[in-house]
């Protein structure tokens, strides 16, 4: 059965029960809810999911169980969640790779049609940083220095990630002679930058943050659309002469397509409330994660759909391959 036919069949089957689903939403959840995390335990997506799950348990009087299904950059967990019933009792916790992967390779889900975006959990600021000896403090100075150098290697956590594309998009827009140097993770990329073996890097705030604080790395700009609440003094690339530039890493909650809208709205409100707890806020701050507790389910849906299109355009513009 094709994906399109499956969605039509599902809609027809559910139509008589829409009113009942809406009336039952007030009692949701009535049993345990599984939150499928598409990554291994211990990472920021998993940690944030567990913090939110704990808070949701307190407010709903039901248990939110975190189930890790890592592999293939999040694709295994995503495709597993897709196969579950659209009743609000199985949720997916994914990151921006959810929107990015379809622009890079063939995946077993449609990021627009197969899931219903529920709530944003957090946005991880990423930064363009340089080693302290680089004679640049602003983005204009960095570009001028790079052009004078003739070739400037920049480190990232690996090929195909958000930071890789952040660097390539900036390379194209600025015409700076940047050369991508992929590492097996943000930690080794940061270590080489701190050691002076590579002059620049596009690195996530959680990893590079302590080294910015110690003066071992110099921040030039934030890659997101707006300044980070955690780094309010660091300008964005967009405001530094590249309007429209926005490469962010986010984490969010999704439900299989067909999940009743009242349940999605109820979950969105509960998750936004959970994000405001002192424990979650403290962990977000210590991990270098921004959040948006004002984002409704509809707003998050628009955010995700725009991100899907952004990655398609980014891959087409930069000509990046992911072999």
Region 211-216: what's the mean pLDDT?
Answer: 95
Return the half-sphere exposure (C-beta side, CA atoms, 13 A cut-off) of residue 228: 29
Angle (nearest 5°) at CA 130 between 127 and 132? 130
Structure tokens at 287: 């991990």
Judged against a pLDDT cut of 90, whether residue 243 lies above it is answered with: yes
Judged against a pLDDT cut of 80, whether residue 186 lies above it is answered with: yes
Q: What is the mean pLDDT of the chain?
A: 89
Asked which of 84-93, 140-149, 200-209 is least confident by mean pLDDT, the reply is 200-209
Give the Cα separation of 20 and 22 in Å (integer). 5
Task: Tell me which H or E stretch contains 45.
Answer: helix 44-60
Give the Cα separation of 37 and 93 in Å (integer). 5
Cα dihedral across residues 283, 285, 286, 288: positive or negative = positive
Interval 249-275: pLDDT, tens: 899 999 999 999 999 999 999 999 999
Judged against a pLDDT cut of 90, whether residue 90 lies above it is answered with: yes
pLDDT over 70 percentage in the chain:
92
Give the C-alpha distances (Å, rounded to integers) separating 156 from 230, 288, 302: 21, 17, 28
88 and 180 in contact (C-beta within 8 Å)? no
Interval 65-77: pLDDT, tens: 999 999 887 889 9
**Is the whole model's pTM more than 0.85, yes or no?**
no
Structure tokens at 311: 């990655």
């Amino acid at each position: 059965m094709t994906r399109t036919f499956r969605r039509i069949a599902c809609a027809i089957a559910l139509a008589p029960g829409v009113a009942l689903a809406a009336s039952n939403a007030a009692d949701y959840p009535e049993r345990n809810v599984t939150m499928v995390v598409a990554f291994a335990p211990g990472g920021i997506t998993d940690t944030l999911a567990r913090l939110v799950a704990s808070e949701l348990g307190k407010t709903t009087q039901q248990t939110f169980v975190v189930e890790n299904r890592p592999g293939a950059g999040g694709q295994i967990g995503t495709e597993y969640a897709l196969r579950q019933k659209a009743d609000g009792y199985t949720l997916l916790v994914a990151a921006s790779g959810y929107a990015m992967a379809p622009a890079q390779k063939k995946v077993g889900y449609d990021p627009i049609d197969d899931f219903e975006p529920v709530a944003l959990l957090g946005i991880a600021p990423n930064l363009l940083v340089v080693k302290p000896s680089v004679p640049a403090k602003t983005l204009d100075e960095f570009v001028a220095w790079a052009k004078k150098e003739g070739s400037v290697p920049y480190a990232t956590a690996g090929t195909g990630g958000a930071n890789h594309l952040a660097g390539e998009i900036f390379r194209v827009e600025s015409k700076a002679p940047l050369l991508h140097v992929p590492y097996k993770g943000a930690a080794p990329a940061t270590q080489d930058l701190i050691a002076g073996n590579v002059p620049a890097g596009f690195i996530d705030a959680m990893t590079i943050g302590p080294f910015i604080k110690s003066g071992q790395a110099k921040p030039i700009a934030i890659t997101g659309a707006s300044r980070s609440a955690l780094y309010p003094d660091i300008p964005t690339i967009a405001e530094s002469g590249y309007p429209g530039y926005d490469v962010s890493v986010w984490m969010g909650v999704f439900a299989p397509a067909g999940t009743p809208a009242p349940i999605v709205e109820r979950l969105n409100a509960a998750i936004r409330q959970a994000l405001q707890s002192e424990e979650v806020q403290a962990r977000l701050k210590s991990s270098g994660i921004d959040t948006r507790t004002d984002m409704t389910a509809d707003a998050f849906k628009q955010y995700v759909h725009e991100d899907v299109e952004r990655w398609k355009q980014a891959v087409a513009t930069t000509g990046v391959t992911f072999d």
